[in-house]
Structure 1
Amino acid sequence: MPIVAPSVLAADFLNLEKDLQLINQSEAEWFHLDIMDGVFVPNISYGMPVMKAIKKVAKKTLDVHLMIVQPERYIKEFAALGADILTVHYEVSPHLHRTLQEIKNAGMKRGVSLNPHTPMSVLENIITDVDVLLIMSVNPGFGGQKFIENTYDKIKAAKELIERKGADTIIEIDGGVSPANASKLVAAGADALVAGSAVFGAENPLEVIRQLKNS
């Protein structure tokens, strides 16, 4: 059964506490928090004050995805805010090994995200230092996009790399995930599913989470 990580960016921000409590009561294990800077990705989401408020209510693992340039500048701040997993993008991390070491030293799980067209081979020499590999199945920056079909092959390539290197890495998928494709993602090797609009846009979010969980 996969880990389910509802994406808070798709929640109702006028009733955020209500939506957070809904996830607390659900079978989901993680809260997925997207931090966007308007530079690395075109959109701007929310920042530290909102995350601080989320932490007061959220009772599950905080899975923080930094879609920002120079993520290494903010590692200690996100640790202090209560992040359990901190994911940085390969594309903006020239000193990735050092950044991952700093994340570990700050007491968080180390995450690396790859954009849809970044090949898996770039992680060949560092995958054993990665706790969570976040594969983007849409181009990052906006919710509600169409799923990129090549993702299945990328998951298989990730699984092969992880097994070949003897790594203990969780494969997480973000973008266009729904009950319609969840089983196929899990069959390809996905361990964790991020779902935003599929959960918060549903009439019965708890049922959608249950369906994802049983994929």
Structure 2
Amino acid sequence: MTTPLISPSILNCDIARLEDELRKISSADIAHVDVMDNHFVPNLTWGLPVVEACVNTGILPIDAHLMIEDPDRWAPAYAEAGCASVTFHAEAASAPIRTAREIRRLGARAALALKPSTDIAPYVDILPEVDMILIMTVEPGFGGQSFLESMLPKIQRTRDAIASASLDISIQVDGGVSRKTIERAADAGATNFVAGSAIFRADDAFEEIATLRSLAQLHMH
């Protein structure tokens, strides 16, 4: 049976207390760090130095989600920096296979992210090149948005495509994941759950992570 992975997004954390904030979520499986360049998405967060700082704390493995233009050029540096996983967007990559192979060559898991309006169908044939598909369940750019129920069929289609190809690829969901929505996402086929405000605004982050994990486990196939 697959175990759900809980990946808290540090988007809404107190960046001045980065190490403390990572300790607050240390019972999670991986920390999700959103890199935004104010071009691909209308928000600017942080880049390689902050991601490296997160890696160097050694508290959790780091999952870098690159919401940036030209990931073909920039993504390998995040793998070199020691990220466990590097996610780049299908809409921004001009050479997704080459980029995924380069990320893997440098020792990280490679993941392909899809915005809500991007279908999985054109990417089914390149599934063997990646370790994870990220299905955005909000429009990327800002934390605290509501989960888009309309993404559930896409999660199911992705799960079916992975099963048909007999591949071991995880499906990550990011955006509006909370106690209210995680069960439906797990039921549709998600296995890796990014939650930001749901965890960082909780009174007890450890307890919230444990609750999300158990809710997802109940609904995973």
TM-score, length of structure 2 as denominator length: 0.93
> Whole-Å Cα distance in 2 between the matches of residues 161 and 208 of structure 1?
31
Q: Which runs of 5+ in 1 are unaligned?
A: none
Moved over 4 A (4+): none
Q: For residue 11 of structure 1, what is the aligned residue in structure 2?
A: 13
Q: Distance in 2 between matches of 1:48 and 1:183?
A: 33
For 2:51, the equivalent position in structure 1 comes to: 51
Query: Is the Cα–Cα contact under 8 Å of residues 54 and 62 in structure 2 kept in the other structure?
Result: no
Moved more, 12-21 or 148-157: 12-21
Q: 1:146 is paired with a residue of what secondary structure?
A: coil
Q: What's the CA shift string for 1:143-194, capped at 9, x where partnerless?
A: 1011111121111001110011122110000000001111221111110000
Name the SS for the 2:32 alignment partner: strand
* Residue equivalent to 2:184: 184
1:208 equivalent in structure 2: 208
RMSD, aligned α-carbons? 1.2
Equivalences for residues 14-163 of structure 1 within 5 A:
14-24=16-26, 26=27, 28-163=28-163
Give the Cα separation in 2 of the matches to 1:173 and 1:66. Answer: 15
Distance in 1 (alpha carbons) for counterparts of 2:97 and 2:187: 30
Q: Aligned partners of 1:211, 1:4: CA distance in 2, in Å?
A: 10
Q: Deviations over 1:78-124 (max 9, x none)?
A: 12321111111000112111111111111111100000010110212
Compute the TM-score of the two structures, normalised by the length of structure 1.
Answer: 0.95
Q: Does 1:2 align with 2:4?
A: yes
**Displacement of 1:58 after TM fit?**
3.8
Q: Matched residue of 1:35: which SS?
A: strand
Secondary structure at the counterpart of residue 149 of structure 2: coil
Amino acid at match of 1:138: V
Question: CA–CA distance in 1 between the matches of 2:200 and 2:120?
Answer: 31
> Could you say if the C-alpha distance between residues 75 and 210 of structure 1 is closer, same or farther in structure 2, counting changes exceeding 3 Å?
same
TM-superposed deviation, 1:2? 1.1
**1:168 equivalenced with 2:168 (yes/no):** yes
